[in-house]
Structure 1
């Protein structure tokens, strides 16, 4: 047990911090689309210029430089457009820095793994979860060359990190590289150019509380009328007072429409983003706002009525209901999904599996326990070597997306999520629970047993089952119950099943013909005698 790592404490997952809803802009005229393209192209060029200035400043950027950048943009657009552009630039720069740090950590892990494996003899076995030596001299030589490549790459990335240099492509690096491989991407040059322009357009405005309908730049009334404050360079295209352009279409949010209407009516901040989908040739509008901070439910209150343990796998979610004492109740449940096809199809599969799981938990009024998974360090090929199928399996698990969707969907149904440390849940669950829960009519899998282990860890119980006492110390000769039961559970004092065997003159307790007769035992509330019995009269006075 000395090689096991310490298990982190369970915690209640906080709810989503924001909400985003989307609706289509149907019924746009040709003039409307032309205006949107011109506004997006102009603001996109300003955003590209501002991003270049921000990246050049690096770590020396301060509030004064931010103010100068905003003043430079305000002359060509407006102060509100400039504020949205500079804020988006800061978010993009910060995201690039986080990705750079994650890349450094991944390279460090790869370098340390290769060094450790090169130092071991060829063909040596691994121990305690660490990989052993390489299988052949050829592989050893190839990995020694790869070590130099990773070390050189790590030196360059560290130099960029210390200098504050980031490399950002507005529109996406993947789309940029596909320009040189149009046949492999299945695109023509015109199609690629349209996608590239659509990704680089900027039509995004942050909300302001206290302003009419929560946003002064992109304004949407409760009736669905959309109007845009045009930049100063395009003020001649306005068709409404104060330099605004009103679209001919009306917007209707089918999801959370009432919440959105309440916010805009009260003048609370709502951010909007208008974007174009070249594949469908459609325009969309996304509204988003922040949720007020709420007090997290105490973990003790979540554990009071039991919960549902859930184990995520490559093709299904395994769930099992547990009572407050950690005992499995009922039968395990399986919610299948297929991570094949397009990204939208995979996303829909995950949503359907999660909503079935959440509806089942809501019917029982229970919280949900999940693993706090993070496969960032597990995807590297340096750790798993030539196990390509296993690396592909880990990379295909949608851990981050599934958790984000689960938290947001559970918040809508009022279900609390408890995250537990994933250490040893599959191994200990199969060791302690898979065989005891197996019967003639129920064949639980290793994943079902892992769901039980996850639920017990969330409840604060040990994963190991309660060990039965030695035979001389058992209350019954055979069949001692190791599962815990509440004092008011029906049948807890009922007869044990009769065990067949040779008859002897000495019948052990609980084996005779009257094993099920409660009156045959000396227990409180039951008479031990079988003959009629009458109480003698007692004198009322001495």
Structure 2
């Protein structure tokens, strides 16, 4: 049992920190689109200039430099536009720093793995916990060159991080690289240029509590009228007092519209973002606001009625309902999704699978237990070597998006999410539950058994089942097994070692160590030793 890693305790997942809703700007005129493009391009130019200044400051940036950047932008826009631009710039720089750290950790994992495999003889087999040596001398030689390449990249990335240098592209690195592969992307230069300009526009403003309708820069009335404060150089385009431009389009926010309307009526802060979908030729308005943290339900309360264990896979969610004692109830369910096509199609597939799962849990009034997955350390190219198909499999699983979607949608329906440690759930579930749950009319899969294991861990029960009682015969009577490990027993979920001696719990006096000696049995006419004997409890861990 010493090889098993320590597992984290289950916990109730926190709800989402904010809400975002989107609606289409219907009824836009040509003049409206022209004004929005001019304002977005002008503010986008200022945002690019500000991002350059923020990246040049590096780690030496302070509040004084922040204020200086904001004053420089205020002269060409307004105080509120400048505040939104500088805040977005700072968030983008911080995001680049987090991505840089993740890249360094990935390089370090690759360097460690290659160095370990190069230190082993060629052809040496690996174990379940560590990879072996490379198969051929040619592969060994190729990996030595790759080790030097990764080491150089790692040194460069560490040097950039120490000096505060980051690589940021306004509009997105992927869209930038698409410019060099227009044929593969099936785009013309003009189509790419339209997407590039739309991605680099800046039309977003943070909300302000106490101000009219919660936002002075981009204002939306409860009736859906949208207006924005024009920057100083474009003030001549205003069609309303105080340098404002009112759009002909209206919004209603069908989803969460009542919540949004309550906020703007009470003059509570709401942030807005306007963007153009060049593929569809449409404009959208996104409203977002922070929500107070929801009081989480105690874990003991969640466990009182049982829950639904869910196993996440590359193409489906395997779910099984469990009662409060950890016993599977009913039949397993599978909620599938297809992660092909565009990003919007993949996102819709995930949302459709989650809403079916949540509605099923809502009908039974149960919480949902799911693994706290994180494949950031499992996607490295060097860890799995030639197993390219497996690397693509785990890379394609929508872990982060599914987790964020599930928490947000569950909070809306009032369903509690319990996160558990994913260690050994598939392995132990298949070992202890797949065969017992298989019948003539139902074949339990490995994923179904993993869902049961996840649910039992969330309920605080060990994954291992109780052993069957001894059969009826002359000396044994079927009874309740008492060897189930307690919740605090170390290593309780591991395989119990084989202990020599009697295998029943109903051994009478004198039938312990002398069970093989027929003359020592407790029978009439034999010299049995009539002394008290009790079998020791079977150890659950060594």
8 Å Cα contact 2:470-2:478 kept in structure 1 = no
After superposition, the Cα gap between the structure-2 partners of 1:71 and 1:455, relative to the gap in structure 1 and judged at 3 Å, is: same
Contact kept, 8 Å, 1:327 with 1:483, in 2: the verdict is no
Matches within 5 A, 1:150-189: 150-189=150-189
Partner residue in 1 for 2:373? 373
Q: Does 1:267 align with 2:267?
A: yes
Find out whether 1:303 has 2:307 as its counterpart: no
Counterpart for residue 12 of structure 1: 12
Deviation at 1:34, TM superposition (A): 0.7
Q: Does 1:109 align with 2:106?
A: no
8 Å contact kept, 2:469–2:481: no
User: What CA distance in whole angstroms lies between the structure 1 residues aligned with 2:475 and 2:405?
Assistant: 49
| Partner of residue 425, structure 2 | 425
Q: Determine the structure 1 residue equivalent to 2:83.
A: 83
Structure-2 residue corresponding to 1:395 = 395
Matched, 1:329 2:332: no
Contact conserved, 2:470 with 2:476, CA < 8 A, in 1? no
The 3 A distance-change label for structure 1 pair 473 and 79 is: farther
Q: Distance in 2 between matches of 1:301 and 1:473?
A: 44
- Who is 1:352 aligned against? 352
CA gap 1:224/1:137 in 2 versus in 1, 3 angstroms: same
Tell me the distance in 2 between the aligned counterparts of 1:250 and 1:352: 29
Residues 208 and 269 in structure 1, CA contact (< 8 A), matched pair in contact too: yes
Q: 1:182 to 1:430 in 2, by over 3 A?
A: same
Tell me the SS of whatever aligns to 2:3. Answer: coil
Instruction: Please give the alpha-carbon distance, in whole angstroms, between the structure 2 residues aligned to 1:248 and 1:40.
Output: 18
With 429-438 and 86-95 compared, the bigger mean Cα shift is at 429-438
What's the offset of the Cα at 1:467?
2.1
Q: Is residue 3–residue 128 contact of structure 1 (8 Å, CA) maintained in 2?
A: no
**Residue 317 of structure 1 contacts residue 335 of structure 1 at CA under 8 Å; is this kept in 2?**
yes
Deviations 1:221-243 (A, max 9, x none): 01010010001111111110111
Q: Within 5 A, what are the aligned runs for 1:39-118?
A: 39-118=39-118
Q: How does 1:186-265 map to 2 (within 5 A)?
A: 186-265=186-265
Give the match's secondary structure for 2:441: coil
Q: In the aligned structure 2, how far is the partner of 1:178 from the partner of 1:427?
A: 42
Query: What's the offset of the Cα at 1:294?
Result: 2.0
Secondary structure of 1:267's counterpart equals coil
CA distance in structure 1 between the aligned counterparts of 2:196 and 2:338, rounded to whole angstroms: 31
CA positional deviation for 1:3: 1.1
Partner Cα distance (1:475, 1:9) in 2: 43
By how many angstroms is 1:478 displaced? 5.5
Normalization by structure 2: what TM-score?
A: 0.87
Which residue of 2 is the match for residue 464 of structure 1? 464
Q: Secondary structure of the residue that 1:162 maps to in structure 2?
A: helix
Instruction: Give RMSD over aligned pairs.
Output: 1.8
Shift in Å at residue 480 of structure 1? Answer: 6.7
Is the contact between residue 369 and residue 454 of structure 1 (CA under 8 Å) also seen in structure 2?
yes
Instruction: Classify the secondary structure of the residue corresponding to 2:355.
Output: helix
SS in 2 for 1:405: helix
Name which of structure 1's ranges 432-441 and 471-480 shifts more when overlaid on structure 2: 471-480
Distance in 2 between residues matched to 1:39 and 1:258, nearest whole Å: 30
Deviation >3 Å, runs of 4+: 468-484
The secondary structure found in structure 2 opposite 1:296 is: coil
Query: Cα distance 1:373–1:474, how it changes in 2: closer, same or farther (>3 A)?
Result: farther
Partner of 2:537 in structure 1? Answer: none
Q: Give 1:366 shift.
A: 0.4
- Point out the more displaced range, 469-478 or 58-67: 469-478
Q: Secondary structure at the match of 1:66?
A: helix
Whether contact under 8 Å (1:18, 1:288) holds in the other structure is: yes
Return the offset for 1:468: 3.3
Does the residue aligned with 2:438 lie in a helix, a strand or coil?
coil
Query: 1:294-349: CA deviations, max 9, x gaps?
Result: 22111111111111000011111100111111111111111111112222221111
Structure 2's unaligned 5+ residue stretches are 485-542
Q: Report the counterpart of residue 339 of structure 1 in structure 2.
A: 339
Number of equivalences: 484
Deviation at 1:475, TM superposition (A): 12
TM-superposition CA deviations, 1:185-214 (whole Å, max 9, x none): 211111111111100000000000001101
TM-score using structure 1 length:
0.87
Write the distance in 1 (CA, Å) between the matches of 2:273 and 2:154.
37
Whole-angstrom CA distance in 2 between matches of 1:115 and 1:22: 49
Change in 2 beyond 3 A, CA 1:126/1:229: same
CA–CA separation in structure 1 for the residues paired with 2:392 and 2:320: 27
Please tell me whether the aligned partners of residues 18 and 291 of structure 1 are also in contact (alpha carbons under 8 angstroms): yes
CA contact (8 A) 1:203 1:274 kept: yes
Corresponding residue for 1:535? none
Any conservation in 1 of the 2:466–2:481 contact (CA below 8 Å)? no
Offset, 1:139: 0.8
The 2-side partners of 1:128 and 1:298 are apart by 37
Contact 2:469 2:478 in 1 (8 A): no
Q: CA deviation digits over 1:256-314, x for unaligned, max 9?
A: 11110000000000000000011011111000000112221111111111110000111
> What corresponds to 1:129 in structure 2?
129
Alpha-carbon contact 1:337-1:353 (below 8 Å) kept:
yes
SS in 2 for 1:432: helix
Does structure 1 retain, via aligned residues, the 8 Å contact 2:115–2:147? yes
Residue 177 of structure 1, CA deviation:
1.5
* Counterpart residue number, 1:517: none
* Aligned-residue offset at 1:381: 1.6
Verify the 8 A CA contact 2:467 2:481 in the aligned structure 1: no
**How many angstroms apart in 2 are the aligned matches of 1:308 and 1:217?**
46
- 8 Å CA contact 2:470–2:477 kept in 1: the answer is no
Shift of 1:469: 4.6
| Cα 1:477–1:97 shift into 2, 3 Å | same
What is the alpha-carbon distance in structure 2 between the residues aligned to residue 185 and residue 199 of structure 1?
17
Q: Distance in 2 between matches of 1:440 and 1:30?
A: 67
Note the C-alpha offset of 1:129. Answer: 2.0
